[in-house]
Structure 1
Amino acid sequence: MRPLAAAALCLTAACTTTGPAQTDRMISPILATPEARDEYTFARPDVARVTHVALDLQLDFEAKSLGGTATLDIDAAPGAREIVLDSKGLQISEITAQDGSRLAYTIGQSVVGKGEPVTVQIGDARRITIDYTAARDADALQWLAPEQTAGGEHPFVFSQGQAINNRTWIPTQDSPGIRQTWEARVTAPAPLDVVMSGIMQGEPVAVAGDRRAFTFRMDQPVAPYLIAVAAGDIDFRPLGPRSGVWAEPATLERAAAELVDTEAMIDAAEDLYGAYRWGRYDMIVLPPSFPYGGMENPVMTFLTPTFIAGDRSLTGLVAHELAHSWSGNLVTYASWRDGWLNEGVTSYLENRISERVFGETRAAQERALSYAAAADAVSELGAQAPGTALRTPDGLNPLEYNSAITYDKGALFLHTMESIVGRERFDPWLRSWFDRHAFQPATSAMFLAEMRDTLIGGDAALEQRLMLDQWVYGTGMPANVARPDTRAFATVDAAAAAYAADRTLDPQAWTGWSAAEQMRFLGNLPEALSAAELARLDQALNLSATGNTEVKFLWLQAGLRNRYQPAVPQAEAFLATVGRNKFVQPLFKTLVDEGEWGLPIARRIYDRTRATYHSFTRGRVDQLLQVGG
């Protein structure tokens, strides 16, 4: 059965806030179909919803505390007398109406992984203020001591809201389908600077003591998980007329050099998918404990320092986060079950941007790596496994997705559609999708319905060739998948086959390969290698000294799975300086899988490094090693 098309719902006729307590603002519609339902929020947006958040917060690095007030503008159905917010550990002291009167509220029973509902009796109030403090161990916030930073002199803090962590520091309705505008005033001790995922309003202002106040605005409605903050000893370097990078002084020069292609990427993306609608595109390179490669917070992408390779070979990460400015930020999934609609579409856009900026060879190689990752995931999970469907089916937790399915199979879906329909038709259609749903939530059903209505247009033969429902709701790899160009890695694959057959190795060829080619070779190494073979590989290819974290990770995996003792101190040093979960969790898993040899090593390293990791990463490694908080 074809899924139902999504229906939009606004609680006021004009989809703008009204009344004396509010300024007119566009309200992004909410979606009222079953496929749009978000089971990870307590909110009831069909009754009352948050449309705007105004924060006034203080950062206390000594107490590792964030607190202040959140003023919420509310759009409510006629007769609605209460609103339900999301919270996880927030310490609320008072909630008041605009006239200063105190409002009654209750905090419901906590639900594991979801937090607790806050039900506020709003009566006729349509603007309320919540006085609160975030818990010291708020999942979204990581407080770093000076010794955990590159400079070593000042503390640092950053937030990571996706998926549902912003409810640990902002009392709002924390659901991607309830888009909100926002503003903030944040104070921090000098000389620390504060950045947020909104446009900074003027220069910081001195306030009481040695503190400074920073103000920000985001006038476009965004998913709540995209509200982000970071503060530390950071400086700014412009990259172009509308882009720049923040980083610690010790990192800034290398970061800026790595990001010189940013403006070219923005131009390429605009040429393909329409105007960049967020004003500026700035980035901040965070300390190593940041758990992801990047986070697409509007106007302020958060980046891991692991992308700095010295040769711009890993800047596909930047293309990916930039692409989210269209897919994910401009048009956002309403339900976490449609993760591919953000990440798979974005991975496709990333590849198209890379092709424009870096050329077809690099893009073809990246497509081949993506195809291999998706194929391996399907093989490992099983072609009939529900977890191989793009839209996460009921019964599975969409917050624990397989990235190769969500990102790589999702990108393959669009590459396949493009290959069948042709770029001359597919590109304008995808651009029009972003235009039609700008600053709005969406679902898989909407995406497919619009493909049928405006791209297929009743062509039954084309509909059959595209296999839309099989891609999004079916399992495994559909038969029509666009396969990568076999020439993309022909030379490298031949070298890998030669090495597997008789351990033939050409160090000179290795030095001429791109990072993608080196990764392909290491990924195709035989599973079992002797200590002598590993030592020869390291000596010939200088693997232990590489500055490319992706290559270093593959080398360490090969060494640890073969119990290669020299890889142990290398892994320990790597895990002590890299907090990106993409690397950390698999390396600990490799050690755990080696049983009596690897488990003691894993426990020893983790005892030293656990405190340096973000809560996201800690949670996953804790499960592997069966340790508690």
Structure 2
Amino acid sequence: MDDPLPEDVRPVPSTTHRPYFPTHGDDGYRVGHYDLSLEYKVSANRLGAVARLSATAVRPLERISLDLGAFRVGGVLVDGRPARFTHRDGRLHLTPGRPAPGPFTVEVRYSGAPRPVSSHWGGVGWEQLTDGVIVAGQPVGAPSWFPCNDRPDDKASYRIAVTTASPYTVVANGELVERRRAGQATTWVYEQAEPMATYLASVQIGRYRRTELGPRMLLFHPARLAGRAANDFGRQDRMMALFTDRFGPYPFRAPYTAVVTEDELEIPVEAQGMSIFGANHVDGARGEERLVAHELAHQWFGNSLTAAGWRHIWLHEGFAAYAEWLWSEESGGPSAAAHAAHWHRRLTALPQDLVLADPGARDLFDDRVYKRGALALHALRTGIGDLAFFSLLRAWTAAHRHGSVTTEMFVDLALEFTPRSYETFFASWLYGSRLPPLP
């Protein structure tokens, strides 16, 4: 029998697992597909759009609630018929003609000046650049540009069509299936076949040049940064090979796309099948190469396997941070063990009040979530050995490909790869507030 767990490492009671963003999302239905048709004027920051959602109610709904920012809603159809609606405080409430479980469709016509959604971390979502647009939706920015069921566990396929002035390039999730020019405007149509969470949906608009980095890898960048970008992303094919070996096959059929904006960005941005970097992340000397590795790793951890709720964010960021250390040791830099020792010393000196498996909404992107998550993975690797550890990671990505995951699901699978009981190990690293020692 295992020793009793100390009080500070007992699993957090399930009653504390309330949604981090209770005003977003609706558990009464699931969306299967979004069809978004957008017309955007860059200089005026003016968006006119039609969103069509195909969904299924899991119970009879007297009201259908969507998340949508401060747009003017011109009309709503439910199953092809006009529906009454109210729109306030970021919520679009629809009253269907007859409440019933089962499939239904919604069409929303809306227009206005898109702006980011306010959050603990500033504005997130659709944001104007000096000459273009960036969409950074994590965690609650999707309503800044389309009506949606904004919860990470409601994943759907997408068709995104964007019409804008022809000098601009549009990059969105999935495969570019059509590009047509009419007059001074061009329409770009992308299809994202694999299920995607709303916060990962993204549109990038800018005066970009396209470069092919290798098989199924694209780079969009300003012309003036061509040389720097080619060098800084020049080893991405080796990263892809390493991560494919360690994590399993790349999970999406469309090419992986990196975008470098003309503007500087505080941090890179994650989207499904795509990563977005600022001009300040490209120095021509691979000074920020760890970020290239980090964002690529998110395609497995965060985009294919998406946290069922935001308290499980370490399943995204801890794994991506550990991928940085794996790339470091593969490319001739410090080993993962050296990184782990360094960051364990750093985190030991910080407040011991963060629970990795439930950090709280305000600490969602605290650096301790990233580094303690990576440390937990390295401690597990040290304990069970490389063969079992990387077999576990490949089994994890295969078992839940394109699905929603929780910490408890990972622990259940990991226990199948441990030579002895590891309940105390996981309780300490994931549910205890005090940082455990490294093995």
Question: TM-score, normalized by length of structure 1?
Answer: 0.63
Matching residue of 1:417: 380
Structure 1 residue 244 displacement after superposition:
2.1
Q: Is the 8 A contact 2:74 2:110 kept in 1?
A: yes
Matches within 5 A, 1:47-446: 47-77=28-58, 79-99=60-80, 101-108=81-88, 110=89, 115-121=90-96, 123=98, 126-139=104-117, 140-145=125-130, 155-202=131-178, 204-207=179-182, 209-279=183-253, 280-292=255-267, 294-356=268-330, 358-359=331-332, 361=334, 363=336, 365-376=338-349, 379=350, 381=351, 383=352, 385=353, 388-392=354-358, 396=360, 398-401=361-364, 403-446=366-409
Provide the rounded CA distance (Å) in 2 between the counterparts of 1:117 and 1:371: 46
Provide the rounded CA distance (Å) in 1 between the counterparts of 2:30 and 2:108: 15
Q: Structure 2 vs 1, CA of residues 463 and 284 (structure 1 numbering), >3 Å: closer, same or farther?
A: same
Q: Structure 2 vs 1, CA of residues 66 and 412 (structure 1 numbering), >3 Å: closer, same or farther?
A: same
**Count of residues in Structure 1 that have an aligned counterpart in Structure 2:** 419
Matching residue of 2:417: 455
Bigger fraction of residues in helix: 1
Q: Is the 8 A contact 2:51 2:147 kept in 1?
A: yes
Q: Is the 8 A contact 2:311 2:358 kept in 1?
A: yes
Which blocks of at least 5 consecutive residues in structure 1 are unaligned?
A: 6-32, 146-154, 483-629
Provide the rounded CA distance (Å) in 1 between the counterparts of 2:11 and 2:391: 25
Q: Is the 8 A contact 1:49 1:83 kept in 2?
A: no
The code of the aligned residue for 2:371 comes to: D
Matches within 5 A, 1:433-512: 433-452=396-415, 454-456=416-418, 459-460=420-421, 462-464=422-424, 467-479=425-437, 481-482=438-439
The code of the aligned residue for 1:288 comes to: D
Provide the rounded CA distance (Å) in 2 between the counterparts of 1:331 and 1:36: 21
- Higher-Rg structure is 1
Q: Structure 2 vs 1, CA of residues 326 and 301 (structure 1 numbering), >3 Å: closer, same or farther?
A: same
Provide the rounded CA distance (Å) in 2 between the counterparts of 1:259 and 1:80: 49
Q: Is the 8 A contact 2:206 2:261 kept in 1?
A: no
The code of the aligned residue for 2:26 comes to: R
Q: Structure 2 vs 1, CA of residues 122 and 163 (structure 1 numbering), >3 Å: closer, same or farther?
A: farther
Q: Structure 2 vs 1, CA of residues 365 and 65 (structure 1 numbering), >3 Å: closer, same or farther?
A: farther
Structure 1 residue 369 displacement after superposition:
4.5
Post-superposition CA distance 1:185-221 (Å, at most 9, x none): 100101111111221114x2112x4100000010011
The code of the aligned residue for 2:266 comes to: P
Provide the rounded CA distance (Å) in 1 between the counterparts of 2:296 and 2:154: 22
Post-superposition CA distance 1:371-409 (Å, at most 9, x none): 344334xx2x2x2x2xx211235xx4x244353211001
Provide the rounded CA distance (Å) in 2 between the counterparts of 1:120 and 1:287: 44
Partner SS state of residue 378, structure 2:
helix
The code of the aligned residue for 1:317 comes to: L
Structure 1 residue 231 displacement after superposition:
0.8
Q: Is the 8 A contact 1:56 1:70 kept in 2?
A: yes
Question: TM-score, normalized by length of structure 2?
Answer: 0.88
Partner SS state of residue 361, structure 1:
coil
Partner SS state of residue 82, structure 2:
coil
Bigger fraction of residues in strand: 2
Structure 1 residue 361 displacement after superposition:
3.0
Structure 1 residue 355 displacement after superposition:
2.4
Partner SS state of residue 413, structure 2:
helix
Matching residue of 1:534: none
